[in-house]
Amino acid sequence: MASPMDMGQSFRQNERLATLVNYGVASLMLVCVVVAILQQAAILAPGWNAGYLLPFCFILSLESMYTHRSLDRQTWLDPEWYLYRGTEWVVILVMLKLVMYLVNGLDGLLAEIRLWGRDFLNSFFNNEFLVVAGIAFVVWILANFFSRELAGLEGDEKLLAAERDSGVIVQRSAIRMNLINLIVILGGAITFMTALQSLVYQLRGPEAVAPPTSGWNVLAYFLLGLLLLSLTQFSILRARWGLASIPISAHLGRRWVTYSLVFLLALSLFVIVLPTRYSVGLLEILQIGLAFLIGFVNLLLLLFSLPLLLLLSLFGGLFGGSETLENFRPPVIPPPADPVGGSSWIELFKSLVFWVALVAITGLSFYYYLLQNRELAGRLRRVSFVNALVQFGGWLRGLLRGWRKTAGAALAAGMQRLRVRRNPEAGAGWGFVNLRRLSPRQRVIFFYLAMVRRGSERGSPRTPAQTPYEYSQALQANFPDVEEDVSGLTEQFVEARYSRHDITPERVGLVQRYWEKIRRALRKSLGRQGGQRKP
Amino acid sequence: MGDFIPLFILVLALIAILLRADFVLTVIYLFIAVFFLGQWWSRRSVSGLSAQRVFTPRAFLNEKVPVSLQICNASLLPVAWLQVHESLPVGLAVDESLSQVISLGGKGQVQYDYVLEGRKRGYYPVGPLLMHSGDLFGLASEQEFVYPPDHLTVYPQIIPLKQVKLPSHSPLGTLRHNQPVYEDPSRVLGKRDYVAGDSLRRVDWKSTAATGRLQVKLFEPSIALETAIFLNLNAEEYDLKSRFDASELAIVVAASLANWIVGLRQSVGLATNGTDPLLGGATPGAPQAPHPIPPRRGRGHLMRILDILARIQLAATFPLGELIQRETVRLPWGTTLLVLSPHLDEALFDGLFQARRAGLSAVLIPCGPVANFEAARSRAEHFGFPLYQVLSERDLDLWRQ
């Protein structure tokens, strides 16, 4: 078990990692917000290139969160706060201007410097700069909000010890809820903005081209938001464990981040391929499904009645009938409706997935709504139609459960049979044995066991209570031609199995000769019919 | 915490419908997948958890018992976080408690090794092992998994004894004795000349042929020491102040005597009116007295007695006299009763007297302070029952010489 020093180190390690990742993720989320803002700006100023804002805002948000932590004890009531923030914004504006010059070219810088002497404010704070500075300010404010909530979720050892000693525990769940609200509100806003932008491009007509990032930034934002949700859950649990003085494994934080990332990325890849529109309507899908089912049932009936039909056609031919089976056509499964471009089956499948997802979402929404309002659900059940539906649902669930159990049992039995075939038990099936790899003693034993096995297959099984000599007598009685060989092989086996005498290769050769003769005799016995076999 | 997701999905759906934005459906799919698959992952990974605790279930006093606890994840899905806590009893000294939060990969396992020290006799539960786990997002309620406890029996202290003078009337044993009435024909001591009246069966013909005079064999007297220990653990018969110490001392004396007797390869049994927590009584959950163990030989039998002495507890049950009256009828003739009781009353002496009349002998070994000890001693002398009071372990030195 970990010592107190290891515990503390592990706790700090996890805390540091979580803090770094939290701030990185939050900054990336703000970058997605900036993408949405720039997309809106592109509607108003199509030629404007402000891609440089993305990395700048990422760094800016990190800086904002860092300074928020540094100014932890100061508020806007302190004069130092104004000094700090004022100098901070001077630096931010100057850096922003420099970045703009770097992107637009240093010629612009030289041209502007000439104008500063005449009208500094208008030339420095031009329209583009004001817009960009405004966006930077929004990002800066939002980063502060994130930092405030994330800082509230943190809990280093000293803080937790203070909470424990004072009995005043920080309500981290409430802080997390605030963070979720912030994520949701921002997410809703950028979703709305991006959707609005898509609508604008749709209204402009087919010649208008939507920007390539349309929608992707929203997905990335929510992906990162879910990651942050996971990390804040880790923060809450970490604080809970810290307060209870429960040591945490040093790798827990790293694994948490890894599992969350892998899980979310895998899900994202999956949901990206899911259809978001349909080309075949719901009723059409149901119609196709029903037609498919009818066609399948017809086919099954035909297969069962085919022998009878064949017989009837023969009789018909005998009595001069003209109809034959050649004129018969089996039922055909109707093809799907003609889609709007693309392979018909793929479109049908995509539409099917879409409708299933939609119906599932709707159904689950109703289910959860009723779960939250049990009284309403109780009242609804008193309605006979609803009650009948519920009972039908229960019956269907039971039926499906039964099918699943049967299928599972059949599958398990099949797998077991396969396993037995691959790994047979001794006597049930013999795999390939390389005789050269066996020692002389093992070879003698092998030949004896081969004799027992073949003898069992030929009607002279060895009972468990029989000694080798007793079995030898029984076998000799049934196969008198090879009496001496059976006796000799048994003797050699007893010596090899139960003594420590050396078994020479010559003796193995002798045993092998015995075995060859016995095998030939046993093979001949296959042709024998009747006769009594003594046990 | 998971309640916000359905509401948020509803809002997104509204945006998708009103603004005809297809990409919003992708976001909805993502949230639904996270919501359901996250919970499924948590439930599934916990169902694959198993644990195994390996240790020797019996130990002597102050012996260190290493315990190995292995937690395995049989599922392919990793367990994101797992809080484990092994409950350990106070009576077993442990270096540090086992409580940690870990992460288990798919098909992963973790092993914890710790040492228990039995500082006090008893029957201790090692565990249960409590495990908590949950999903990554806090959307589902946490799962709990409990691995039931195993038990460790710590035997009472055993003081090695050398010489305990216990009377016995069981002939034909393996222990030497003075009384010639217990002559053992299998143990020839020597020979002497024949005297009229000697049985012809005792004539040693070989010596007779060698010497030319009739010689008869002399046999060594021997006894068997069949013993039954009657241990009084009726709380009402103990003095309130010394109840705990006296009862524990009685258990130590009982264990030491049983060990000594088995060491002599003699038989010993045990009957007690204490309660065994492993046995349920008429009232659910109420323990009852263990069944008396008849006298037997062997280390295995000694272990059985020590098991009971490890678990037995003081309780308000029934007087020892009742137990003696009930059990002495089952004991063979010549058995010696070792009565460990702090309360020597009329009923007890009556029971012992009846036992003597049935051919049994008794020795009184009161452990701890005895009320009216002088009266009890004189009564014991009157009946002829040896009495050895043991006030502390040092009094056992008498039998260690």
> What DSSP assignment string belongs to A137-157?
HHHHHHHHHHHHHHHHH---H
How many whole angstroms separate alpha carbon B182 and alpha carbon B224?
A: 10
Burial class (CB in 10 A: 0-12, 13-18, 19+), A254: middle
**What mean pLDDT is reported for chain A?**
80
Structure token digits, residue A296: 């399948």
Option in A252, A263, A270 nearest B102 (CB): A252
Q: Which of B7, B11, B12, B85 to mutate to test the interface with A (most CBs of A within 10 A)?
A: B12
Query: What pLDDT was estimated at residue A72?
Result: 63
Query: What pLDDT was estimated at residue A531?
Result: 41
Q: Please name the residues between 202 and 231 in chain A that touch chain B, using a CB distance below 8 Å.
A: 202, 214-215, 218-219, 222-223, 226, 229-230
B368 φ, ψ (degrees, to nearest 5)? 90, 180
Does A430 have pLDDT greater than 70? no
Q: Which of B20, B26, B94 to mutate to test the interface with A (most CBs of A within 10 A)?
A: B26
Does A530 have pLDDT greater than 50? no
Query: What pLDDT was estimated at residue A130?
Result: 86
pLDDT (tens digit, 9 = 90+) per residue, A41-74? 887 777 777 888 889 999 999 999 888 877 766 6
Nearest 5°: CA angle at B346, between B345 and B347?
A: 95
Query: What pLDDT was estimated at residue A214?
Result: 65
Option in B4, B31, B96 nearest A180 (CB): B4
Burial B65-92 (b: 16+ CB within 10 A, else e): bebebebbbebebbbbbbbbbbebbebb
Helix, coil or strand: residue A458: coil
Q: Please name the residues between 452 and 481 in chain A that touch chain B, using a CB distance below 8 Å.
A: none
Judge whether A35 is closer than 8 Å to chain B, CB to CB: no
Burial class (CB in 10 A: 0-12, 13-18, 19+), A381: middle
Chain A residue with minimum CA distance to B5: A184
Contact (Cβ atoms closer than 8 angstroms) between residue B230 and residue B271: yes
* Three-state SS letters, A245-302: CCCECCCHHHHHHHHHHHHHHHHHHHHHHCCCCCCCCHHHHHHHHHHHHHHHHHHHHH
Please tell me the number of Cα atoms within 13 Å of A528 on its side-chain side. Answer: 13
Structure token digits, residue B137: 């997002």
DSSP A328: -
Judge whether A486 is closer than 8 Å to chain B, CB to CB: no
Radius of gyration over alpha carbons of chain A, in Å?
Answer: 41
Query: What pLDDT was estimated at residue A364?
Result: 72
How many whole angstroms separate alpha carbon A469 and alpha carbon A492?
A: 11
| Alpha-carbon dihedral sign for residues A491, A497, A502, A503 | positive
Chain A residues touching residue B9 (CB < 8 angstroms)? 361, 365
Does A228 have pLDDT greater than 90? yes
Residues (pLDDT < 70) of chain B are 1-4, 165-184, 187, 220-225, 280-287, 401
Q: Which of A88, A87, A90, A109 is nearest to A98 (CA)?
A: A109
Q: Which of A256, A267, A279, A356 to mutate to test the interface with B (most CBs of B within 10 A)?
A: A267
Query: What pLDDT was estimated at residue B111?
Result: 93
Judge whether A361 is closer than 8 Å to chain B, CB to CB: yes
pLDDT (tens digit, 9 = 90+) per residue, A331-342? 555 555 554 444
Residue identified by tokens 């049930």 is: A428
CB contact under 8 A, A198 and B9: no
Does A380 have pLDDT greater than 70? yes
Contact (Cβ atoms closer than 8 angstroms) between residue A22 and residue A176: no
β-pair type (B150-154, B98-104)? unpaired
Residue identified by tokens 């498919």 is: A292
Does A362 have pLDDT greater than 80? no
Please tell me the number of Cα atoms within 13 Å of A24 on its side-chain side. Answer: 9
Which residues are registered as beta bridge partners of B215?
A: B193
Q: What is the pTM of this model?
A: 0.67
CB contact under 8 A, A191 and B24: yes
A150 φ, ψ (degrees, to nearest 5)? -65, -35
Contact (Cβ atoms closer than 8 angstroms) between residue B260 and residue B227: no
Option in A214, A256, A365 nearest B80 (CB): A256
Instruction: Give the gap in angstroms from C-alpha A195 to the nearest C-alpha of chain B.
Output: 5
Helix, coil or strand: residue B296: strand
B170 φ, ψ (degrees, to nearest 5)? -90, 115
Query: What pLDDT was estimated at residue A375?
Result: 78
Q: Which of B252, B278, B279, B254 is nearest to B268 (CA)?
A: B254
Chain A residue with minimum CA distance to B41: A263
How many whole angstroms separate alpha carbon A61 and alpha carbon A31?
A: 9
Q: What is the longest distance spanned by two Cα atoms in chain B? A: 134
Does A450 have pLDDT greater than 90? yes
Query: What pLDDT was estimated at residue A210?
Result: 54
Option in B6, B25, B78 nearest A259 (CB): B78
Chain A residues touching residue B12 (CB < 8 angstroms)? 188, 191
CB contact under 8 A, A180 and B22: no
For the ranges A163-167, A500-504, B215-219, the one whose mean pLDDT is highest: A500-504
Contact (Cβ atoms closer than 8 angstroms) between residue B365 and residue B348: no
